[in-house]
Chains A and B, each alone.
Chain A
Amino acid sequence: MEFSLNQRALGILLRDVLPCQEQLGVRAHRLGNGATVVDMGVHEKGGWQAGKLFTETGLGGLGRLDYTVMSVGGHLLPAATVTVDRPAVAELAAHDAIYVLEHRGVRTTFSGPFRSIGGMDAYARAVPYRDPWGKKAVCHIQTTELPDEGMAEALARAIGTVEPEDLYILAARTGTLTGAVQVSARNVEQTFPTLLDRGFDVNCVLQASGSAPILHMAEDEYVAYGRVNDCLIYGQETNLWVDCGDEEIRRILPDLTFDKNTDIYGTPFEELFARSGRNWAHVPRDWDAPCRINFFNLRTGRAFSAGHIDPEPMVRDLLG
């Protein structure tokens, strides 16, 4: 494949983000080693437009976020609707927040198209695409602290083909509007690792779209973490257009969606996260599951669906 996810993401950055910092409520910093860190909602205010661009760069320019409206328990709420081309590539090789960098004893998770350079992790390697450009890298991080020179150097070393001055790192806290938007936009994103874990051939997915409500309710990072993840496990719906045998879908369908966790279903994610020591590494893999998935099998004309949207936890989150 001749296109470069990093080149496409950098194009968005250079055209729509860096010249429009005041308009977006973001600020770019040049670190001592030349790396560019764009604060899209750590110390800066960020907002709707910043959240959209954080997401679209994170998809390597292969997807689009549109703001739509969802009715949740009778309350009209803004929602993040994502439509994505080459969904397996965009999600698994770029958007998924999977790559873990260990730096000075701290494990930090990154997402973004840099993961497609050489295939940085197992999920990125699950698709044949590798970024052919490799000269510059665009990375995304959900964090309360802006990355420093040391982290940028470690990341550049891990990528291998770039120097720190070739790195562009976009950062936002969860407890900002940018953070809430970019998490709710991880609707299709959350689905792909789940499919892969169950041995489904993700290259059968021809098209994908997804929506989830946006509940930015809290500056407190842990409260925000709970609210935004409730939007995914109780409010997200993803559509997949596939070309495969129906039996392949039927095989995985009962085990896909979050409602399979009957023992904890309905519990706010804030509480589930606390039970896991507020550490993603201790969150059972089955708790990071999509809310509802619809399959449209173009080979057979049949439709399949698993999971359901549950407004109650989100209404509780909305009211506080």
Chain B
Amino acid sequence: MDMFEYAEKAFADILADCPANGCQARGIDRVDAGNGVPGGWSSARRLAEGLYGGRAIVNVSQQLLDGWQTPTAEVLCDDPVSTAGHFTVENGVMGLKRSDGTYALAYSRADTGICGNLVTARPASLCAAVTDAARLIPDAVAYLLGNGLHEEQIQWAWSCAPVVLTTFEEKAVQAARQEAVSAHGVCSIWVRGDDRGLEDLARGYGACRLRLHSVERARTYGAG
């Protein structure tokens, strides 16, 4: 199953489970997962799996953070480079876009009229909270590629980040999310090749703790 087929299957699973999953089907290619409805864990997790095109395992569990059992999303990604682009927002939409411009699976806050399968949810929803917690890897990959690492250097990735839903107020929830990810989010990326500058790269990343594991030097940069 290629990534597009996997993403289509993820959308079909979410659609088929409406309304039991707290989502609302709107036709055959639209699901409201957090605008007029609350959405829920199963659809949020399946959306994240779909956005990774089957190249990652997405778990939702809980970790003891600051004395609270806090929900976290953990992502174990086998192909960080190929999947990073699925999380790039283009005209308010992210997802797996085919060469003909249609989406196998897309995600946005509102229906922007794209062709293909679309899941919508506002920022102050569980769906958005899980998706944000699950996107540490693509964000870190974009940072690394933008700062001189080559695609072939990046091998695998793992991340763990709190799922933050504190209020219906959009700006406040986004600020709380940013703060929680900065304090507790961890993203590990396994790299090969030249390891010069990796410590600076890891430490220069501000969104969360970024650890770079050099499999040739058997060292971790950014962990100390």
Chain A contacts with B in 61-100, Cβ cutoff 8 A: 66-69, 75-76, 78
The stretch of B8-16, B36-44, B216-224 in contact with A is B216-224
Given contacts A47-B156, A78-B74, A217-B220, whether A177 and B190 have CB atoms under 8 Å apart is yes
Is the CB of A45 closer than 8 A to any CB of chain B?
A: yes
Q: Which residues of A contact B57 (CB under 8 A)?
A: 48-49, 52, 67
A223 / chain B contacts, CB cutoff of 8 Å:
218
A138 within 8 A of B: no
Count of chain A residues with a beta carbon within 8 Å of a chain B beta carbon: 31
CB of B203 within 8 Å of the partner chain: no
Q: How far apart sit A216 and B218, CA to CA, in the bound complex (Å)?
A: 9
- For A47, give the chain B residue with the smallest CB separation: B78
**Interchain residue pairs with CB less than 8 A apart (14):** A23-B6, A23-B78, A25-B79, A45-B155, A50-B78, A69-B61, A69-B74, A216-B215, A217-B213, A217-B219, A218-B218, A219-B216, A320-B217, A320-B219
Q: A2 interface residue, CB < 8 Å from B?
A: no
Indicate whether B76 reaches chain A with its CB closer than 8 angstroms.
yes
Contact residues, A194-235 vs B (CB, 8 A): 216-220, 223, 227
Q: Does A20 contact B (CB under 8 A)?
A: yes
A220 to B74, CA, bound (A): 27
By size class, the interface of chain B is: 20 to 34
> Which B residue sits closest to A317, measured CB to CB?
B218
Given A23-B55, A50-B78, 15 extra CB contacts under 8 A: A23-B78, A24-B78, A25-B78, A45-B78, A67-B59, A69-B160, A76-B160, A216-B156, A216-B215, A217-B219, A219-B216, A223-B218, A319-B219, A319-B223, A320-B220
A residues lining the B interface (CB < 8 Å):
19-20, 22-25, 45, 47-50, 52, 66-69, 75-76, 78, 175, 177, 216-220, 223, 227, 318-320
Question: Once the chains are docked, how many angstroms separate the CA of A46 from the CA of B118?
Answer: 31
Pair A66/B218 contact, Cβ less than 8 Å: no
Residues of A within 8 A of B188 (CB): 78
Cβ–Cβ contact B76 & A219, under 8 A: no
Encode B38-77 as 1/0 by CB contact (under 8 A) with A.
0000000000000000111101010100000000101011
Given contacts A48-B57, A318-B220, A320-B220, contact A78 B155 (CB under 8 A): no
User: Closest chain A residue to B2 by CB distance?
Assistant: A22
List of 7 A-B pairs having minimum Cβ-Cβ separation, nearest first:
A320-B219, A47-B78, A218-B218, A48-B76, A219-B215, A217-B218, A78-B158
